[in-house]
Amino acid sequence: MAQEKPASMVEDKDLECGTEPATTTVDAELRRASSDEESTIGEPGANNEYNDLTTVPTNTSAIARTLTVVRTRESGKDLGPPPDGGFQAWSQVALAHLIIFNTWGYINSFGVFQTYYTQTLNHPPSDISWVGSIQIFLLFFIGTFSGRATDAGYFKFTLAMGVLLEVFSIFMTSLCTKYWQLFLAQGVAQGIGCGLMFCPTLALISTYFAKRRGIALGLAASGSATGGLVFPAVIMRLLPRVGYGWTMRTLGFITLATLIPCLVFLKQRLPPRTTGPLVEWAAFTELPYALFAMGMFMNFWGLYVGFFYIGSFSRNIIGVSDTTSIDLLMVMNGVGIAGRLIPNLAADKWTGPFNLLLPFSFATGVVAYCWAGVSSLSGLWAFAVFYGLFAAGIQSLFPATLSTLTTDLKKIGVRMGMVLSVVAIAALIGSPIAGALVERDNGQYLFAQMFMGSAIFGGFLTLVGARVAKVGTGLVRV
C-alpha cells in the first residue's frame, strides 16, 4: 500500500519547481488546520478560547480556494519556447489591439476633449490637461502592480477589474458637469482601469512571440491609432447632434462591445511565478535598464504635448475651425498606424528594436522643434503627419525594446511595469508644464514647443548611452 507523502514534502517539491498547484496548496492548508486543532484539544492548560483560535487556518484555506478560482493554473506540461505564430498567438495579438484601442485610443484622442473642456468649463489649458495627464500617469503607474499580478497568475482577474472600471468610468463621465467630476471620472477612474489592462496585455503578448515579437507588439500598439481615429470621429459627429452626455455613453457602449471578447478569449500562456518581490530593485543596477528607463522618461515628458495641444494651437494661433482641428488630430493618429507597423517589422527582420528606437526618437525631437516655425495651415498639416509618424514609432518600439532587456519571461510583467511607472511621472507632469508655459507666454506656444523638443532630444541622448552600455558602439542587432 502506497504511503502518503507528508505535507512538508509536497510543499518542498512545489518550491523547487517554482510552482504552486492550486489543489495541493488547499489540501496542505486543510491538513495543517486539522493537525493544529487535534494538537490543542485535551492538552493540559488548553481552554476553549485557545481552541477557537485554531480555526484561523481554515479561514486561510477558504481565501486560498477563492484565489485559485481567478488564478492561472499550472498545467504541469513543458510549454517550450514561444510559438511565434499560429492561430492562438495571432488571435491574442488581435485581442490586444482592442485593449490598446480602448486605452491609448482614448488618450491619443484627448486633444478633442482638451479643446471642448477649455471652451465649456472656462478653465485654463493647464487645468484641463491635468485630466489627461493623470489618466496617462495611472495607466503607466498601475503597471507595477498589474504587471506583478500577471506574473503571479492573476491576469484574468486583473483584466476583468480593468474592464469593469473603465466602462463604469466612461458612463460616469457622461454625467459630469464640473471640472472636479471630470478629474475623478475621466482622469482617475479611467486611468486606473486602463492601467489594469495595458501592462498585463503587453506582457502577455511578449510570451507568445520571440523572433516576431516586434511586429506582434506593433500590431497590438496600432490599436492606439485606430482608437485615435474612431473616437474623435464619433465625438465630431455626435456632439453637435445629441450633446455631450449621449456622445460619451455611445463611446461607453463601443468600449463595452470591444472589451467583452478580450475578457473571454485572452489567455495567459506561462504558469504563475509564485515568488518574487513587487519591485525588482536589482534591475535598476543594470546600467542599460536604468538608462533606458531614464531615456524613456525624457521622451514621454514631451511626447504627448503635441497630441494634447495641436487642437488648441490650430484654433487659437492658425485660426481654423473646430472641425479642422479635430481632422488634424485624426491625421496625426492615423499616420501612426504606419508608424507602429513598419518600424516593428523592420526591427524583426533586420535591425532589432533598440537600433530603430534611436533614429525615431531623434526625428521626433527635430520635428518638435520645427513646430515653432509653423505659421500656416499647410505647415500644420505637415507637422501633424511627420510628428504622428515618428512619435508612433517611439510608442510602438518602446515596449518591444523593453522586452529585450528581460531574459526571463516570467519576470517580464514586473520589469515592464517598473519602467512604465517611471515613465508615468513624466507623462503626468509633461502636458501641464506645457500648458503653464502657454499661459506664461501670453497664449503663445513657443515656450511649450521648446520644452517639448528639448525633453525628447534629451531622451534620445540618454537612449544612446543605454545602447552603448548594452552592446557598445559596434553595428550589432539589438
Domains of the chain (ranges, CATH numbers): 7-53+63-69 (no CATH), 87-471 (1.20.1250.20)
15 pLDDT higher than 60: no
Tell me what pLDDT residue 425 has: 94
Q: Cβ neighbours of residue 272 under 8 Å, at least 6 residues apart?
A: 19, 20, 71, 72, 74, 151, 152, 153, 154
Across the chain, what does the average pLDDT equal?
Answer: 84
Band the pLDDT of 71: cuts 50, 70, 90. Answer: low
pLDDT at 33: 44
Lowest mean pLDDT among 43-47, 327-331, 383-387: 43-47
**Tens digits of residue pLDDT in 329-344:** 999 999 999 999 999 9
Model pLDDT for residues 83-124, shown as the tens digit of each residue: 999 999 999 999 999 999 999 999 889 989 988 998 899 888
Q: Name the more confident of 42 and 123.
A: 123
pLDDT at position 69? 55
pLDDT in tens, 422-441: 999 999 999 999 999 999 99
